[in-house]
Amino acid sequence: MQLDFISGLFVFMLATFIGLDVIRRVSRLLHTPLMSLTNAISAIAIVGAIIITGEQHTTLSTVLGAVAVFASTTNIVSGFLITDRMLKMFKKREPAK
Amino acid sequence: MTVEQLTQLIYLVSAGAFILSLKWMSDPSTARRGVFAGVGAMVLAVAGTLLYPHIVAYHWILIAMVAGTLVGVPLSWVPLTAVPQRTALSHAFGGLAAGLVGTAKYYTWLDEGQLTTFRMAAIGTEVLLGYLTCTGSLMAAGKLQEVLPTRPLTYRNQNLINLGLLAVAIVIAIVLVFRPATPFLFPIVIVLSLLFGVLLVLPIGGADMPTVISLLNAYAGLSAVAMGFVLENKLLITAGALDGSSGLILSIIMCRAMNRSFVNVLFGAFGQVQAASGVVEQRTAKSATPEDVMHLLENANTVVFIPGYGMAVAQAQHRVRDLRDELTKRGVNVKFAIHPVAGRMPGHMNVLLAEAEIPYESLVEMDDINPEMPQVDVAVVIGANDVVNPAARTDPKSPIYGMPIIDADKAKTVIAIKRSMNPGFAGIENELYFADNTLMLFGDAKVVIGEVVKEFSGKQSIH
């Protein structure tokens, strides 16, 4: 589906405003997990990497794409897992003994 | 409905789930739901992409995904003190992925003769941001892991050379936009971006790592946005913008917490040895024994712990928790005052204390604890230094003047646990240690806090 430059800018602007507003509300307690989570989210680059790899246009593009898929998958997997691992540690009160 | 429309629909749902995922991070009680929403969004995005009609072969995608999972799983097991390094490494991977996709697209479209001005501009931005994020983050990870020297590495005319290099890279990229079919210029842009990333982080000292990590986070997000423009993909633009704005907000918070500007962090080479600022007087600090500290704490009503990265280095957080338990058992009100830049990345200290099972309700932000400090009986400073240095309030000549600090000196008694009298990370003398109401408890934080705890439990068995 074609996307013209201006529509792209529209999406970018609106998403940035939503992002700024949502992130501003994140508790400071959770800034480290937030960064691991956004790490995983920015690995959305995998979408582009998959297309490049799957098209098999040239050997070069396939290789570059596969490396990009590898790098993004690493980010997705480790980002989500470590975020959840950290969040599990946050307890409101004393654990019941 | 065509397959392409279905993909777009899936992308729409995925983008919504990403926004919800971040929204749920606002509170610790809903945060884990946020992770699940994020995972769901990512699975949808990948599934939607795999439906894409142009994909002719799946084996390389599958192999790369399996390999990435095999590397990613162990990377999530790192100790929490090493989370900043892992995060920096992950920014590097993100930047690399963006750079590589941009490179692949350039050569593909060059072959097909479809390199329009718009596409070239998007590729140029993506490649510049992607590769500089990659090497810059690797440098940051190296400094955090202390494989590379953490002090700023400087040379003459550094800023001039760095900016010059960036300017050359941008000019070449612009030339490419108007003459896309000059393929020999493209690798030059790649090399210059890689080099600029290295040079950008080289002069930044360890104390500024929280800001640098946040800034690189924003760059990684923006490179995903640029990729979205290259591939004409709205989901990439949305998710990248969310990541970019997160990095931006965290950078601003970090800069404010240190009373410094972006420009100053990037070009100021902070953390250089501030050579002989003021006369070095021989002054004596009062020192205390673990027993003294036990008595002081026992008779207090309110105790505030002020942890710094030194606590994590000494692996003392579990002993601190034991001490907290002893005090809470005796009815002492215990709080933890967290400075925004305590630790090596935003929020790092909270995670380290949460790991030691300290409930997050007793973790208090700097701005909330400061008004209470004059009523606090004992402030215990553990491995923190610059964030409690009163020179930030009083000495206009001090390099940290103006930086918001936790007013430990206003507590009735201050106990500072420290290995020796050496100045901290930024190499600045700390007046707090010589104040009349300060007692120094010298030694390794884990060991001495253990001794204080022992004093408490020993006392219990006598009675």
Per residue in B389-438, pLDDT (tens digit) is: 898 898 888 878 888 999 999 999 999 998 877 655 555 678 888 888 99
Q: Residues of chain B with pLDDT > 90: what percent?
A: 61
Query: Among B12-21, B70-79, B201-210, which is the least confidently predicted range?
Result: B201-210
- Decide if A73 and B67 are in contact by the 8 Å CB cutoff: yes
CB B384 within 8 Å of CB B310: yes
Query: B223 and B199 in one domain?
Result: yes
Query: B97 and B10 in one domain?
Result: no
Query: B97 and B183 in one domain?
Result: yes
Sheet containing strand B438-442, edge to edge, reads B363-365, B333-338, B302-307, B378-382, B413-418, B438-442
Query: B390 and B370 in one domain?
Result: yes
Question: Which H/E stretch holds residue B338?
Answer: strand B333-338
Whether residue A16 lies within 8 A of chain B, CB to CB, comes out as yes
CA-nearest residue to A27 within chain B is: B26
CA-nearest residue to B54 within chain A is: A55
Question: Where among B51, B77, B103 does a domain terminate?
Answer: B77
Would you say residue B281 lies in a domain?
no
Residue B383 has what pLDDT?
85
* Encoded amino acid at B96, one letter: L
Query: B455 and B326 in one domain?
Result: yes
Residue B204 has what pLDDT?
84
Query: How would you label B163-196 residue by residue, b for 16+ Cβ within 10 Å and e otherwise?
Result: eebbeebbebbeebbeebeeeeebeebbebbbbb
Query: B328 and B225 in one domain?
Result: no
Of B23, B101, B111, the CB nearest to A22: B23
Strands B363-365 and B333-338: parallel
Query: B113 and B262 in one domain?
Result: yes
Question: Where among B55, B77, B99 does a domain terminate?
Answer: B77
CA distance B126 to chain A (A): 11
CB B417 within 8 Å of CB B427: no
Query: B210 and B304 in one domain?
Result: no
CA distance A76 to chain B (A): 8
A10 neighbourhood in chain B, CB within 8 Å: none
User: pLDDT at residue B355 above 60?
Assistant: yes
Backbone angles phi, psi at B94, to 5 degrees: -60, -45
Maximum C-alpha span of chain A: 62
> What does the pLDDT average to over B79-89?
93
Ramachandran area for residue A91 (φ above 0: left; ψ -120 to 50: alpha; else beta): beta
pLDDT digits (tens), chain A, 97 positions: 567 889 999 999 999 999 999 999 998 899 999 999 999 999 999 999 999 999 988 999 999 999 999 999 999 999 999 999 999 999 887 655 4
ipTM of the complex: 0.95
A85 neighbourhood in chain B, CB within 8 Å: 76
CB B209 within 8 Å of CB B218: no
Query: B29 and B142 in one domain?
Result: no
Query: B115 and B258 in one domain?
Result: yes
CB B408 within 8 Å of CB B438: no
CA-nearest residue to A23 within chain B is: B246
CATH number at residue B399: 3.40.50.1220
User: pLDDT at residue B261 above 90?
Assistant: no
> What does the pLDDT average to over B81-96?
95
CA distance A35 to chain B (A): 8
Query: How would you label B212-228 residue by residue, b for 16+ Cβ within 10 Å and e otherwise?
Result: bbbbbbbbbbbbbbbbb
pTM of the model as a whole: 0.91
Strands B363-365 and B438-442: unpaired
CB B361 within 8 Å of CB A91: no
Residue B209 has what pLDDT?
86
> What does the pLDDT average to over B97-110?
95
> In sequence order, what E strands does B192-327 have?
302-307
Token pair recorded at residue B159: 């800023």
- Decide if B69 and A77 are in contact by the 8 Å CB cutoff: yes
Tokens 């990590």 belong to residue: B213
What ranges in B268-417 are assigned the alpha helix state H?
290-298, 309-313, 317-329, 348-355, 366-369, 391-394
Token pair recorded at residue A64: 């570059």
CA-nearest residue to B337 within chain A is: A29
CB B144 within 8 Å of CB B344: yes
CA distance A10 to chain B (A): 10
User: pLDDT at residue B272 above 60?
Assistant: no
What residue numbers bound the domain in which B197 lies?
88-267
Would you say residue B160 lies in a domain?
yes
Would you say residue B34 lies in a domain?
yes
Q: Which amino acids of B are annotated catalytic?
A: 386
Backbone angles phi, psi at B106, to 5 degrees: -60, -50
Residues 6+ apart with CB under 8 A from B156: none
Would you say residue B283 lies in a domain?
no
Of A40, A69, A92, the CB nearest to B361: A92
Of A26, A70, A80, the CB nearest to B35: A80
Structural domain count of chain B: 3
Greater confidence (B179 vs B14) lies with B14
Would you say residue B134 lies in a domain?
yes
Query: B233 and B171 in one domain?
Result: yes
Question: Where among B77, B107, B138 does a domain terminate?
Answer: B77
CB B136 within 8 Å of CB B216: yes
B141 neighbourhood in chain A, CB within 8 Å: none
Query: Among B181-190, B200-209, B262-271, which is the least confidently predicted range?
Result: B262-271
Task: Categorize the per-residue pLDDT at B243 as very low, low, confident or very high, splitting at 50, 70 and 90.
Answer: very high
User: pLDDT at residue B320 above 90?
Assistant: yes
Would you say residue B274 lies in a domain?
no
Token pair recorded at residue A73: 């998958």
Would you say residue B384 lies in a domain?
yes
CB B197 within 8 Å of CB B141: no
User: pLDDT at residue B6 above 70?
Assistant: yes
Token pair recorded at residue A55: 């098209």
Residue B277 has what pLDDT?
45
Token pair recorded at residue B339: 């400075």
Query: B406 and B299 in one domain?
Result: yes
- Decide if B61 and A30 are in contact by the 8 Å CB cutoff: no
- Decide if A92 and B360 are in contact by the 8 Å CB cutoff: yes
User: pLDDT at residue B171 above 80?
Assistant: yes
- Decide if B52 and A50 are in contact by the 8 Å CB cutoff: yes
Would you say residue B413 lies in a domain?
yes
